[in-house]
Amino acid sequence: MEKQKTICKEVILNGIGIHTGKKVSLTLKPAEVDSGVTFIRKDMPGEPKIKASADSLLANKSSRRSSIGSGQAEVETIEHFMASLSSLGIDNINIEIDTNELPGLDGSAAGYVKVLEDAGIKEQESDKFIYNVKEPINVQEGTSSITVLPYKEFKISYTLNYDHPLLQAQFLEITINANSFKNQIAPARTFCLEDEVAQLKSQGYGSGANYENTLVVGKEGVIKNKLRFADEFVRHKILDLIGDLYLAGCPIRGHVIALRSGHSLNLQITRKIHEQRIRTQGANAMKESLDINEIMKILPHREPFLFVDRVTHLEKGKRAVGIKNVTINDYFFRGHFPNRPVMPGVLILEAMAQVGGVMMLASEENRGKLAFFMAIDNAKFRKTVVPGDTLVFEVEAGKIRSKIGTVHGKALVEGKVVAEADLMFALVED
């Protein structure tokens, strides 16, 4: 078994956001085992945390970069940094950031690799979880597609084909590891067509872009720059894909076959990998799981007001994932839009709160207590939930003291957020 890794020491990296043009400072810090990749917005009240995962993806901002968010906090253009973490094997790291976009550096990941190597990389005591793709997964949009097949290593085969004389068919197949990434993929820079520049600027992209950090491809070739590789364009597409796939929440083993894919399609396949991982519940995918009988030992709720069928992942006092299988036999469908069954939003929040309650009350210091609602903030309902859906609740702890606990929760169906909220509880003796 491989061991989890983090960095050895704190390091600082400054730069300019390639899209926003804002100055940005990153402080990279070592993190505990099983904590994952966490961005911390130091410029916002309360310094909100954003966990880098498929559940944090902001789909409406995925056309030219990868962005994640939690509540009002967002972080954009994370793909080059995430690719560097993935390929160097870094599982746990805290990233303090003072604005909403990571620095673009020279348009590649080489600068991120250097700063991470300068920080040093060390093994931790816990085993690393690597997800081996169990069965083929495919997504497609028009002439673009990605297929992931079971395979013993992490291999990518990418075909690039633009309607441009310099960007017609480029193909590269490569097995990704720290060495191949550092030397063959990380130096490849972002690019765009000269014809796209004006439109991208008008849409708010590329405010920090220039001919040094972006390869601008004109009719006669790259403008005011030179290629580092003859096929630098396809290598950069692979770089983006590696970073996007790391948002599945862990390293993967599989053969990724991509045709003309970009961030939107990359993130769709990432969600599907994440869903397959939850469904198959591979070894070590969970810290601890609870069936309904174990849940009832922690929560006082009983039918018909127990809305959690199983807790698939439990890190006591830190994080939990629970499942509710929504069926037409659920009693509330008899009176709530009976001609078009829709699960009441307040019950989605109640189920979310029950998963949060399990997370808080499972710890030894809170065993035997009750969790009473004190507040619900930032509640949003994004999509209806109907019979046949499987609700996946992911809750993450905020501050938990002896008498008060807060959590941020999300409810997902097929990898898409249907509801989210910040919940506060009073923890009282039974």
Q: Are 133 and 148 contacting, i.e. CB atoms less than 8 angstroms apart?
A: yes
Nearest CA to 100 out of 188, 33, 25 is that of: 25
- Catalytic site positions: 263, 336
- Distance CA(303)–CA(20), nearest Å, equals 51
Amino acid at 126: S
Q: Which two tokens stand for residue 380?
A: 């949003």
The phi and psi torsions of 77 (rounded to 5 degrees) equal: 55, 55
* Nearby residues of 261 by Cβ (< 8 Å), 6 or more positions away: 144, 145, 146, 158, 237, 241
Radius of gyration of the chain measured on its C-alpha atoms: 22
DSSP 52-90: -SGGGB-GGG-SSS--EEETTEEEB--HHHHHHHHHHT-
- Distance CA(131)–CA(147), nearest Å, equals 16
* Nearby residues of 338 by Cβ (< 8 Å), 6 or more positions away: none
Nearest CA to 418 out of 334, 359, 367, 343 is that of: 343
Degrees, nearest 5: CA angle 327-332-336:
110
- Distance CA(6)–CA(87), nearest Å, equals 13
Tell whether omega for the bond before 48 is within 30 degrees of 0, i.e. cis. Answer: no
* Nearby residues of 315 by Cβ (< 8 Å), 6 or more positions away: 34, 287, 288, 359
The phi and psi torsions of 164 (rounded to 5 degrees) equal: -155, 135
